[in-house]
Amino acid sequence: MAQVIGFIGLGIMGRPMAKNLLKAGYALVVHSRSRGPVDELAGAGAKTAGSPRDVAGQCDVLITMLPNSPDVDLVALGPNGIIEGAPVGLTYVDMSTISPIVSQKVGKALAAKGVKMLDAPVSGGEQGAINAALSIMVGGDKAVFDHALPIFQAMGKTITLLGPLGFGGFTKLANQIIVAGNLVALAEALTLAKKAGLDRELTLTALAGGLAGSKCLEQKKPNYVGDTYKPGFKIDLHSKDLGLIMESARELGVPLPATAVVQELFNALRVKGGGGLDHSGIITLLEDLAGVRE
């Protein structure tokens, strides 16, 4: 396979995504702030690079998977950034969840250098990344999307082109409204059940079989049963997404009253020191409020 792929950002999501690209036979050049994941990928066959600029100079398609808008802006346009090393014709795919407005700004700056960009945030959590079963929401030109599609297929199962650059991001924000709301609803329901004396595993089994069943319930069931909230997607990161959602809603003139309450619950857990928990850990806040947190 002739294409060389660059991958920047080897965190909880990026590391398994990069591994799946290696499994699919792609040549990979990687860079990340943390050395451990870089060494792990190098051990699996990837080349390493010292900066985003160095990655850009060695690949045909470059993927970033970063925490927030400022990170993408810096990696793409900052000193030693992608823009300084990108050859004309490079395809840049940002798979982070960031502000769609920032995606459009970065895309415009890179286009002036002959770089084509897609925004392609994902949903499915760590397990979806590990299993190459992510939903990938893409914004950008169709010809660029078609070129990148085989790469997406190595990482995900549901891959949708939604419109111009930025539309992937807006779709991901809509996704995050639903996920956060679902997790808060699960937290309230399970806290009620706990205070009533119900067995948690049996309760979840019953709920899963009816209209209350969901991907959130299915994927997070082990967390709830084990009362352990090791992060697949941190409260801190989902709280960041809720901030992006509310900013976009204000710009578009869309009232989101339920999401505003959900955002404050996530903020409250962060204040209590729970920002590093998995986002299903929002239940710990509700259990505290109900006096059933052991």
CB 155 within 8 A of CB 132: yes
Q: Is 172 assigned a catalytic role?
A: yes
Tell me how far apart the alpha carbons of residues 248 and 104 are, in angstroms, rounded to a whole number.
14
Tell me how far apart the alpha carbons of residues 157 and 270 are, in angstroms, rounded to a whole number.
33
Helix, strand or coil, per DSSP, at residue 4 = strand
Residue with tokens 């869309």: 254
Q: How many CA atoms lie within 13 A of 268 on its CB side?
A: 15
Residue-level length of the chain: 294
- Taken in order 139, 8, 136, 45, the sign of the CA dihedral is positive
Tell me how far apart the alpha carbons of residues 88 and 23 are, in angstroms, rounded to a whole number.
28
Active-site position among 23, 47, 113, 172: 172
CB 223 within 8 A of CB 281: yes
**21: nearest Cα among 54, 46, 53, 50:** 46
Residue with tokens 């967390």: 223
Helix, strand or coil, per DSSP, at residue 234 = strand
Catalytically active residues are: 172
